[in-house]
Amino acid sequence: MNDASLQAASDLLYEHWMQGSVISGLAVDIRPVTREEGYAIQARLDERSRSPVYGWKIAATSIAGQAHIGADGPIAGRILAERVIPCAGVVPAGPNHMAVAEIEFAFRMGRDLDPRPEGFSVEEVLAAVETLHVAIEIPDSRYEDFAHVGAPQLIADNACAHYFIAAEASTADWRSIDLATHRVIGRIEGKIEQEGSGGNVLGDPRIALTWLANELSSLGITLQKGQTVTTGTCISPLAISSGDLVTADFGSLGTATVRIG
């Protein structure tokens, strides 16, 4: 893809994101066929945001998540600062094609991880983390049939990023806890309660965080101090509708809530 086709794809996807509308897919002449082309389209979001990138999301880190968006492995997307909702806040009313909430572990970085030829270990990445947060993601897609467009187009679509909510930093001694077996509950008040664990996120949310650091490194991108990484849903996505109160209950690690507008 040349610069013009990358920009055209970015323009089209961003327009539909802002309008809350969907397309069947990108036209062949502006459609990414590799993950690298998808990321090159996604990177154009940096120029549109009025603030530095807040952080990163990982999609398709669980079997349920992969099935939900039709991906065969994890993909990364940018969390834009203007799409971050305060904990206990309200998601703005508007169309949402996916209409789900995802319950996630999130980590805020305490120092930069610069790109390098060799991969980062879990221990190296965790040493760079400052805080852990209970989080809720409200994803969305700009495609009518997002489960069948393939990873490159999903990456171009910012890995289905939309809104993000994180609680204050956990005060628990989270480094001493086995996050893979830690019990997680997602709840929609008066409707549904579902249980999961950190093991549903690539086997361990710390492994997912490390995957993200290495994915960015391979793209020549620094995972920056102050950025937050949300590591993917620990439960099957919860169907949401206007007025719902969504709760992520991580027990000793904390709780996050958000109201759907």
Q: Is domain 3-260 classified as CATH 3.30.70.141?
A: no
Q: Return the H-helix or E-strand segment holding 252.
A: none
DSSP letter string over 122-166? HHHHHHTEEEEEEEEEE---SBTTGGGS-HHHHHHTGGG--EEEE
Please list the residues that pair with 199 across neighbouring strands.
none
Q: What is the pLDDT of residue 67?
A: 77
Domain ranges of the chain: 3-260
Q: What is the pTM of this model?
A: 0.96
Average pLDDT, the chain: 96
Report how far apart, in Å, the C-alpha atoms of 151 and of each of 27, 34, 141 are. 15, 8, 13
Q: What is the pLDDT of residue 46?
A: 94
Q: How confident is the model at residue 69 (pLDDT cuts 50, 70, 90)?
A: confident
DSSP 121: P
Q: How confident is the model at residue 207 (pLDDT cuts 50, 70, 90)?
A: very high
Arithmetic mean of pLDDT, 18-23? 96
Q: How confident is the model at residue 71 (pLDDT cuts 50, 70, 90)?
A: confident
Q: What is the pLDDT of residue 62?
A: 77
pLDDT at 66 over 90: no
DSSP letter string over 36-72? HHHHHHHGGGGGT-SS---EEEEE--SHHHHHHHT-S
pLDDT tens digits along 93-149: 999 999 999 999 999 999 999 999 999 999 999 999 999 999 999 999 999 999 999
